[in-house]
Amino acid sequence: MTRKAAHFLREMWKIILSITLVMCTIVISLYLLKKVPSYIQETEEKFYSTVEESEYALGLRIFLPSYFPEYLIWPPSEIKVVRKPYLTISLVFLSRSHSSPSLVIHQIISDNKNKEVDLDFMEPKRPFQRTQVLVGGAKGTLIVGVGEDGKRWAQLSWRTVDRKIFVIANCSVEDLLKIARSIH
Amino acid sequence: MYLLEFSFSQYVFQCLLHSFIIAFVIEALLKIWREERPLLRLRFRLLVILIPVLSFPLYQLVYPQRGGFGFRKDIAIFDINQWLLLRLGDGILVWHAALVLLGVTTAVFLMQEAIPILLAYFHREASKTLYESGTIPKLDMILEELKQKSSFTVPRIFLLTEKEPVIYTNGIRKGSINISLSLIEALNREELEGVFAHEMAHIMRRDNAIGWVLLLFRFIVFYNPVALVEFRRIIHEKEKLCDDIASSLTGKPLAFASSLIKVFRMAEANGVTHTSQHNLGSRILFIVHNLERHSHRVRVENRVIRMVRPKKSHNPPYPHIRLGLTTLSLILLLFFVV
């Protein structure tokens, strides 16, 4: 090997090493920075643009209805996650005819069956019917009433192994039951 | 929040993020390599402006799924959307703060770059007269000397009647030098030779044509605070490069340094304004004006020191390989930063 070639190789080695060092520093810093937001937002409420994104951020599967009436718009217009007091995922679906919320699905993650989740803001303000129904083998509570907007709203809530689900809609009770029973 | 789904806002924020990363990498490598040559520093700094503008469409073309959720989740090293959706306070997201930053940068760009450049261009174009040899003997002698020292044809000279001491070049294909009469009067022969050599260096290097292309890129990334800083640094490197050429052409670096100090002092004396500071707007303008003056002073000081006490050049070898490998590594890295 000539002296010139040896010098070239030595310089190339220095160049590659310095670029690699700087790039590695950047890659490690960026990787760590990517992890920060999920730690910061542990107790905050956060909005996601897709169901997949929220599943990825939370590390759990979000239940979705397989029966979805044509008068509702897919995908959800809002996907909100609140960490405290309970980890709650809320999906809001708009009506195709008047573009206002017509179906809301809340999933409250809690496997403690004895600790009753009390979120009374979800109930219709003036309930006039309260009955027990079966949803996939679980006992659910159906409440029909008038909401704050003066419209007829129905709410069905039941518990699964790891979460309590609330389905609130201003559709018919039959449709609400179909939607609720298709959620998995 | 839903704006994040639009390609344009993704482009803007990725451009901003990529500029930050490139600026950091370039700064670190220039320090490690102890690269002091203005031409090479300038080429490296150009990457901060050029790569972010071109990389996003290029990446999307090569791999259209790059912006998708799957890529951001599983493949990307960093996803800026996660940070933009962080909540700072009551209903305020990082996204809103970032918009404010972009807005402030745009305002600075308009007030300090776009409007002054356009105003100066039209104002000066209107008030200049072509210099005819024999009118000012001092100028004729200098031009003759420079003609002998360089193989370059002396360009057309235009005289400006304005009070401020200015000298600049214009013309894309055929460059010309514009100089104010006040500057010709203020500088002695050696100093004037230095500033003319400096301007001729700009013409030799076709800096005007390059400058317009650069300005086009600057206009494209008007919102980018990193580009704002880097653009000024590039201009500064260009000036240093032409200082070196002027110094080697005339062989009188001290006279050139003296001309820089004189021009700076004259400009300072002309530009001193006593702004009323009674309201917030005036106070902000006053602070901005003083910051500008301070940064200008530092830049001139830096150029003068280079002329008076030139550093022993280190000149790391294989600069083109360094530039090429850095560009390739950055293009590869930034593909995974969305």
Chain A interface test: which of B72, B86, B331, B338 (most A C-beta within 10 Å): B86
Residue contact A34–B29, C-beta within 8 A: no
For the stretch B145-161, pLDDT in tens is 888 888 778 889 999 88
**Which residues in chain B touch residue A47, judged by CB atoms under 8 angstroms apart?**
1, 85
State the Cα–Cα distance between residues B336 and B71, nearest whole angstrom.
Answer: 9
The DSSP code for B128 is E
Asked if B315 and B255 count as a contact pair (C-beta separation under 8 A), the reply is no
State the Cα–Cα distance between residues A65 and A167, nearest whole angstrom.
Answer: 10
Q: How far is B82 from chain A (nearest CA, A)?
A: 6
For residues B4 and B15, the model is more confident at: B15
Of residues A105, A55, A98, the one with CA closest to residue A76? A105
Q: Token pair for residue B179?
A: 């100089």
Residue contact A15–B322, C-beta within 8 A: yes
Cβ density class B87-118: b for 16+ within 10 Å, e for less: beeeeebbbeebbeebeebbeebeeebeeeee
| Nearest by CB: A47 against B1, B25, B317 | B1
Give phi and psi for B168, each to the nearest 5: -155, 165
Q: How high is the pLDDT of residue A54? A: 86
Q: How high is the pLDDT of residue B276? A: 46
Domain identity same for A85 and A128: yes
Cβ density class B305-338: b for 16+ within 10 Å, e for less: ebbeeeeeeeebeebeebbebbbebbeebbbbbb
**Which residues in chain A touch residue B77, judged by CB atoms under 8 angstroms apart?**
27, 30-31, 34
Q: What count of other Cβ atoms lies within 10 Å of the Cβ of residue B175? A: 20
Domain identity same for A33 and A121: no
Chain B residues within 8 A (CB-CB) of chain A?
Answer: 1-2, 4-5, 21, 24-25, 28-29, 32-33, 69-70, 73, 76-79, 82-83, 85-87, 317-318, 321-322, 325-326, 329, 333, 337
State the Cα–Cα distance between residues A35 and A44, nearest whole angstrom.
Answer: 16
State the Cα–Cα distance between residues B334 and B78, nearest whole angstrom.
Answer: 10
**Which residues in chain A touch residue B24, judged by CB atoms under 8 angstroms apart?**
26
For the stretch A11-52, pLDDT in tens is 999 999 999 999 999 999 999 998 887 777 665 678 888 888
Domain that holds residue A13: 3-40
Of residues B5, B15, B17, the one with CA closest to residue B68? B5
The DSSP code for B135 is S
Q: How far is A82 from chain B (nearest CA, A)?
A: 12
Q: Find the residue in B nearest to A13 (Cα).
A: B322
Domain identity same for A99 and A21: no
- How many structural domains are present in chain B? 1
- How many structural domains are present in chain A? 2
State the Cα–Cα distance between residues A139 and B93, nearest whole angstrom.
Answer: 41
Report the sign of the C-alpha dihedral through residues B162, B194, B155, B121, in that order: negative
Q: How high is the pLDDT of residue B297? A: 87
Q: How high is the pLDDT of residue A112? A: 60
Confidence band of B3 (pLDDT split at 50, 70, 90): very low
Q: Token pair for residue B67?
A: 């912006």
Domain identity same for A8 and A92: no
Q: How far is A63 from chain B (nearest CA, A)?
A: 19
Q: How far is B41 from chain A (nearest CA, A)?
A: 16
**Which residues in chain A touch residue B1, judged by CB atoms under 8 angstroms apart?**
47, 49
| Nearest by CB: A53 against B69, B76, B317 | B69
Asked if B157 and B143 count as a contact pair (C-beta separation under 8 A), the reply is yes
**Which residues in chain A touch residue B96, judged by CB atoms under 8 angstroms apart?**
none
Average pLDDT value for chain B: 85
How many CA atoms are closer than 13 Å to the CA of B289, on its beta-carbon side?
14
Q: In percent, how much of chain A has pLDDT > 70?
A: 88
Token look-up 């000397």 returns: B145
The DSSP code for B169 is E
| Coil/strand/helix, residue B137 | helix
Domain identity same for A100 and A14: no
Helices B225-250 and B38-62, axial angle in degrees (round to 10): 140
Helices B225-250 and B7-33, axial angle in degrees (round to 10): 40
- In angstroms, what is the C-alpha Rg of chain A? 26
Q: How high is the pLDDT of residue B241? A: 93
Domain identity same for A95 and A69: yes
**Which residues in chain A touch residue B323, judged by CB atoms under 8 angstroms apart?**
none
Confidence band of B197 (pLDDT split at 50, 70, 90): very high
| Coil/strand/helix, residue A48 | strand
Residue type, B182: S
- Listed range (A20-29, A132-141, B19-28, B40-49) with the worst mean pLDDT: A132-141
Task: Give Cβ neighbours of residue B75 (< 8 Å, ≥ 6 apart).
Answer: B336
Give phi and psi for A166, each to the nearest 5: -120, 125
Domain that holds residue B324: 2-335
Domain identity same for A31 and A75: no
Of residues A80, A18, A135, A85, the one with CA closest to residue B26? A18
Domain identity same for A85 and A149: yes
| Nearest by CB: B318 against A15, A21, A30 | A15
| Nearest by CB: A15 against B28, B82, B321 | B321
Of residues A102, A108, A86, A104, the one with CA closest to residue A149? A102
Task: Give Cβ neighbours of residue B323 (< 8 Å, ≥ 6 apart).
Answer: B40, B43, B44
Q: For residue A122, how far is the Cα from the chain centroid?
A: 17
Residue contact B326–A19, C-beta within 8 A: yes
The CATH number of whichever domain residue A133 belongs to comes to 3.40.1000
Residue contact A30–B337, C-beta within 8 A: yes
Domain identity same for A56 and A32: no
* pLDDT, mean of residues B40-55: 94
Q: How far is B265 from chain A (nearest CA, A)?
A: 41
Residue contact B32–A22, C-beta within 8 A: yes
Q: How high is the pLDDT of residue A14? A: 94
CA A22-B41-B257 angle, to 5 degrees, is 140
For the stretch B239-286, pLDDT in tens is 999 999 999 999 999 999 999 999 888 888 876 444 445 555 566 666
pLDDT at B5 over 50: no
Number of Cβ pairs < 8 A linking chain A and chain B: 72
State the Cα–Cα distance between residues B2 and A47, nearest whole angstrom.
Answer: 10
The DSSP code for B4 is G
Pairing of strands B156-160, B176-180: parallel
- ipTM topping 0.85: no
Chain B interface test: which of A30, A38, A44, A50 (most B C-beta within 10 Å): A30
Q: Is A132 exposed, middle or buried (0-12, 13-18, 19+ CB in 10 A)?
A: exposed
Helices B189-204 and B253-271, axial angle in degrees (round to 10): 90
Q: How high is the pLDDT of residue B328? A: 97
Q: How far is B39 from chain A (nearest CA, A)?
A: 19
**Which residues in chain B touch residue A8, judged by CB atoms under 8 angstroms apart?**
318
